[in-house]
Amino acid sequence: MEGTSQWVTDEILHDGAEARTIAGIWIGTNAVMKIRRPKGYRHPSLDSSLTKRRLFAEARILVHLSNSEMPIPELLDFDEKTATLVMTRLSGVPLFNILRESTDFERVSKLMYSCGKMIRNLHSLGVSHGDLTTHNLLCDNHDSIQIIDFGLGRLAPEIEALGQDLQVLSECLSASHPSHSNAMDYVLNGYKDGNEDGLDKNEIITRFEEIRGRVRYHG
């Protein structure tokens, strides 16, 4: 699709091992094109099935959430042959950058509370994310949180996948943002104040604590 007349490339946002993400204009709309690339070192058929699974997971979840209030991109186009998705471009910047730059602890605690609430709302809609790092949470200029990158997400997840979401974020915060040492406490406060629908939040938090204990114990 890149190179077709309805797409005009603006800049490359991220050139990762698994996908290249490009910002541009899609039929007049600010958009992001994400092209998944097969990994050379994996077996070709396994590789294409993994690529395909992530491509479809992301598309399916964006569609599943499209009528909700979740701040996520809108899916604009999808092409299985070229493993490409096109979605609207969100205005936020990665939370990673903000946590790295900010020493305003009150602002950061509010942001982390909002993340927790947003994650709970996502879970209550029957979706796990699978890769909740501070690169996949964006923050707009009103300090609202947006969520992207659903390739490892699942529909109708089990408690374990939901506990894992909290664990992945907790690990990311301690590894990448050690100066915000209480950040996860605010996430959990937000999570507890999120939507009541869906799997029991206390059970999910308990599962997160169990997973964290296992990881700490076994290293």
Ligand X SMILES: Nc1ncnc2c1ncn2[C@@H]1O[C@H](COP(=O)(O)OP(=O)(O)OP(=O)(O)O)[C@@H](O)[C@H]1O
What's the token pair of residue 118?
């947003």
- Minimum Å distance from CB 200 to Mg ion? 29
Name the token pair of 112. 């982390």
Q: Does 14 bind ligand X (CB under 6 A)?
A: yes
Q: What are phi and psi of 103, to 5 degrees?
A: -115, 10
149 near Mg ion, rule: CB under 5 A: yes
Residue closest to 115 by CA, chosen among 136, 145, 135, 140: 145
Nearer to ligand X, 79 or 185 (CB): 79
Site string for ligand X, 54-93 (x = CB under 6 A): x------------------x-------------x-xx---
Residue with tokens 């943002």: 177
31 touches 148 (CB < 8 A): no
Of 168 and 204, the one with the shorter C-beta distance to Mg ion is: 168
Query: d(Cα 200, Cα 70) in Å, to the nearest integer?
Result: 20
CA distance 131 to 137: 10
Show the binding pattern over residues 128-167: x = contacts ligand X (CB under 6 A), - = does not. Answer: ---x---xx-----------xx-x----------------
Of 77-85, 141-149, 165-173, 190-198, the window that binds Mg ion (rule: CB under 5 A) is 141-149
Which residue from 27, 3, 22 is spatially nearest to 11, judged by alpha carbons? 22
List the one residue from 84, 136, 164, 167 that touches Mg ion (CB under 5 A): 136
- 170 counts as binding Mg ion under rule CB under 5 A: no
User: Residue 55 or residue 204: which is nearer to ligand X going by CB?
Assistant: 55
- Out of ligand X, Mg ion, none, what residue 34 binds, judged by CB under 5 to 8 A for its kind, is ligand X
Burial class (CB in 10 A: 0-12, 13-18, 19+), 69: exposed
Nearer to ligand X, 165 or 201 (CB): 165
For the chain, how big is the Rg over CA atoms in Å?
18
The one segment of 8-16, 63-71, 106-114, 118-126 that binds ligand X by CB under 6 A: 8-16
Does 13 participate in binding ligand X (rule CB under 6 A)?
Answer: yes
What CA–CA distance (Å, rounded) separates 66 from 75? 8
Strand residue runs (E) in 80-205: 84-88, 93-94, 127-128, 137-139, 145-147, 154-155
Binding region for Mg ion (CB under 5 A)? 136, 149
Binding region for ligand X (CB under 6 A)? 13-14, 16, 18-19, 21, 32, 34, 54, 73, 87, 89-90, 94, 131, 135-136, 148-149, 151
